[in-house]
Structure 1
Amino acid sequence: MAIYEITADSLRELKETSYAKAGVKERNDLQRLLRMQVEVISPDTLVIAEEFGEWTEGSRRIDLLGVDKDANLVVIELKRTDDGGHMELQAIRYAAMVSAMTFDRAVEVFSGYLNKISSTTDAREALLEHLDWSEPDEDRFAQDVRIILASAEFSRELTTAVLWLNERDLDIRCMRMKPYQDGEKILIDVQQIVPLPEASAYTVQVREKERRERKDRAERYSIRKRFWSKLLEYANTQTDLHSNISPSEYHWIGTGSGVRGLAYTYKVTQHTSIVDLYIDRGAGCKAENKKIFDTLYSHKDQIEAVFGGPLEWRRLDGSKASRIVIEFPGGYRDDESEWQAIIEKMVDAMIRLEKTFSPFIAQLKAGG
């Protein structure tokens, strides 16, 4: 895209140039000017350090380090090149290195920076005022590190990498600062190209939704595995039916009955628990599954009398498998103090279920 000047007679195209041709230096010019007007590429950010690199004896330095209004650290990496080089890799390394910075450490760094630029501002008070805090809050400070990449242009490889990283919960923005020549004047067109500004709010919402879902999924897996551990610990004192299996993070655990495709399974949802005989002999066996189910169902009254209560007979005509089920209220999201009562009901039902169906399954086994 080009930039045009509107004149009385025409649109006059401004000539695109490079920082090198224009004699603009990365550190002495771009960095110095952005340090004083960081809002050009990062609104609501307070610069607390320039050329920060106290973690290493080498020459690697963060061009500008800031803190935003949400108390997140902001790593700003500048390049005057036409493709951005490998600045995203540098910035990620820098972000990792400063991620553990505390409020008190930030005040020390900020104080050193203010002394360097001959400012008499009190670092602590200025940082508190920027955050709109009356007192430091370490639990909220530097909970995340944002990254701003500013360059004349970005390669496709770099923007592809940034988009991929942002999908994985990093917060990286690419700010294109393209220079133009107008006689003796140097103009800069500043545009956020990743993420696109019009998509930023939606992208943030999607990322937050995905983060919540991942957190919920991890929590769900952890809780279920703990539930199964308790169930198997108790079940193994009552029966050896599931003694050869380990706790799972998934919603079910099961063991074979001695006949291919018939399994005794426990299932648990957030507020429901299930014990069942699951019938599925594999691909292409739908008719066989239904025949086994129908054979068992023909003895329904006898089976339920031995079991000691009604069962749910789910032929599931639209599915390959069939199930014979006992379902209870209470699941892994109920209060953990209630788990033992839920588990005891499930194990008791499983013992009675296995005892009830064993003779019939033996007949199926004998019949092949």
Structure 2
Amino acid sequence: MPLFTLKDKQIAAVKSTQFGAEGIQERTGLQAALRDNINVISPDTMVLSEEFSGWTEGARRIDLLGIDKQANLVVIELKRDEIGAHMELQSLRCAAMVSTLTFKRAIEIHQQYLDKRGIAKGFEEEILGFLGWSDPQEEQFPTDVRIVLASANFSKELTTAVMWLNKRDLDIRCVRLQPYKLGNDLLLDIEQIIPLPEAEEYQVRIREQAEAQRAAARSSRDNTQYEFLSQVYNKRNLVLAVVTQYIHDHPQATLDELRQVFPDFLHSSFRVVAPIEKALEKGQKRYFLDESQILRTGDNQTVAVCNQWGIGNIGPFLDIAKQLGYGITAQ
């Protein structure tokens, strides 16, 4: 949207410009300015780190990593160019990388960031105060991961991809940063274009409604329960019961032997059983991780059973369970 001046009853257009033409560098200019004024593109956000790369593989860095008042991590990617090339792909990779970040690790990251900038603050107290917490609440952190893309402009391909991803319950915002030249001053028009601010609340409600409908559809597809050893289970708990019983019947079975009995192909994404370290990375949404549900193999390895089972993958597991001699009856 163009800007105009109004003076002496005259309206004159303010000339738009580009960051490169004005000598504004992406990292040392634009990023440094936004880092210290982050709320202009992401309200109610605190910067945890800059140029963050807390993983061991790859050279990709997050321009700015923050948290918001709802304890969401905020991945902020910046571009000074005119199309925001590939920002959505880069940010998705980064969001996946930080999704398992713990509160303790967030404090360490923020401490390193403040130390590097020579800022003397109580880093843990600052984060707790920002979130309104009296004590760390590790189990509530992070609530989720949000993405903010800030660029001079965005290509149609990028905006189409972002809108499609947002319909599938991601939270990605596109903020346009358009510079203007007025005499010796550089003006900056900052506008959130996706989602449109006036439609944001409505879109959140639509997302929540759509997710509820998908959840209802999933649950209505197949509610078959199974009787095993005189107990009735749903699909996910049946898998846990069968694997638990097998380990009880074969106390010397190693993890490798267990994976031969219950092959990885039964669940190509998460496997039937996984070492506890791997399972903890994915969390309780993927594995049974209550203390009473964690199992130990004959070679003294602690393992967790995958809890992602439905009509599409329970059949092959039932076949193997029956081959092992376990009587399972559908109810």
- Tell me whether 1:120 sits opposite 2:120 in the alignment: yes
Report if aligned partners of 2:148, 2:172 keep a CA contact under 8 Å in 1.
Answer: yes
Work out the CA distance in 2 between the residues paired with 1:56 and 1:77: 20
Residue in structure 1 matched with residue 189 of structure 2 by the alignment? 189
CA offsets, 1:15-56, max 9 Å, x none? 011101111111011110111000000010010000001213
Residue in structure 1 matched with residue 214 of structure 2 by the alignment? 214
The two structures have a TM-score, normalised by structure 2, of 0.67
- Amino acid across the alignment from 1:46: M
Q: How far 1:117 moved relative to its partner? A: 1.1
Residue in structure 2 matched with residue 4 of structure 1 by the alignment? 4
- Amino acid across the alignment from 2:82: D
Q: How far 1:57 moved relative to its partner? A: 5.1
Between the two proteins, the alignment pairs up a number of residues equal to: 233
CA 1:18/1:69 → structure 2, altered by over 3 Å: closer, same or farther?
same
Work out the CA distance in 2 between the residues paired with 1:48 and 1:98: 12
Work out the CA distance in 1 between the residues paired with 2:121 and 2:76: 22
- Tell me whether 1:162 sits opposite 2:170 in the alignment: no
Q: How far 1:123 moved relative to its partner? A: 1.0
- Tell me whether 1:38 sits opposite 2:42 in the alignment: no
Residue in structure 1 matched with residue 259 of structure 2 by the alignment? none
- Tell me whether 1:50 sits opposite 2:50 in the alignment: yes
- Amino acid across the alignment from 2:56: T
Residue in structure 1 matched with residue 176 of structure 2 by the alignment? 176
Q: How far 1:63 moved relative to its partner? A: 0.3
Work out the CA distance in 2 between the residues paired with 1:192 and 1:56: 33
- Amino acid across the alignment from 1:45: T
Q: How far 1:214 moved relative to its partner? A: 2.1
- Tell me whether 1:19 sits opposite 2:19 in the alignment: yes
Residue in structure 1 matched with residue 82 of structure 2 by the alignment? 82
Work out the CA distance in 2 between the residues paired with 1:82 and 1:66: 25
For the residue of structure 2 that corresponds to 1:22, the secondary structure is coil
Q: For structure 1, list consecutive stretches of 5 or more residues without a partner in the other structure.
A: 234-246, 249-346, 348-368
Matched residues, percent identical? 50
For the residue of structure 1 that corresponds to 2:215, the secondary structure is helix
Residue in structure 2 matched with residue 94 of structure 1 by the alignment? 94
Report if aligned partners of 2:70, 2:143 keep a CA contact under 8 Å in 1.
Answer: no
For the residue of structure 2 that corresponds to 1:59, the secondary structure is coil
RMSD between aligned residues: 2.1
Work out the CA distance in 2 between the residues paired with 1:183 and 1:58: 44
Residue in structure 2 matched with residue 67 of structure 1 by the alignment? 67
Residue in structure 1 matched with residue 224 of structure 2 by the alignment? 225
Residue in structure 2 matched with residue 143 of structure 1 by the alignment? 143
Work out the CA distance in 2 between the residues paired with 1:142 and 1:216: 26
- Amino acid across the alignment from 2:18: S
- Amino acid across the alignment from 2:151: S
Residue in structure 1 matched with residue 153 of structure 2 by the alignment? 153
Work out the CA distance in 2 between the residues paired with 1:221 and 1:15: 58
Work out the CA distance in 2 between the residues paired with 1:116 and 1:58: 22
Work out the CA distance in 2 between the residues paired with 1:215 and 1:140: 23
Work out the CA distance in 1 between the residues paired with 2:220 and 2:123: 44
The two structures have a TM-score, normalised by structure 1, of 0.61
Work out the CA distance in 1 between the residues paired with 2:65 and 2:213: 31
- Amino acid across the alignment from 1:26: E
Work out the CA distance in 1 between the residues paired with 2:180 and 2:76: 23
Report if aligned partners of 2:76, 2:150 keep a CA contact under 8 Å in 1.
Answer: yes
For the residue of structure 1 that corresponds to 2:224, the secondary structure is helix
* Bigger Rg over Cα: 1
- Amino acid across the alignment from 2:204: V
CA offsets, 1:256-296, max 9 Å, x none? xxxxxxxxxxxxxxxxxxxxxxxxxxxxxxxxxxxxxxxxx
For the residue of structure 1 that corresponds to 2:138, the secondary structure is coil
Residue in structure 2 matched with residue 204 of structure 1 by the alignment? 204
- Amino acid across the alignment from 1:23: G
The answer to which structure, 1 or 2, has the higher relative contact order (CA under 8 A, 6+ apart) is 2
- Amino acid across the alignment from 1:202: Y
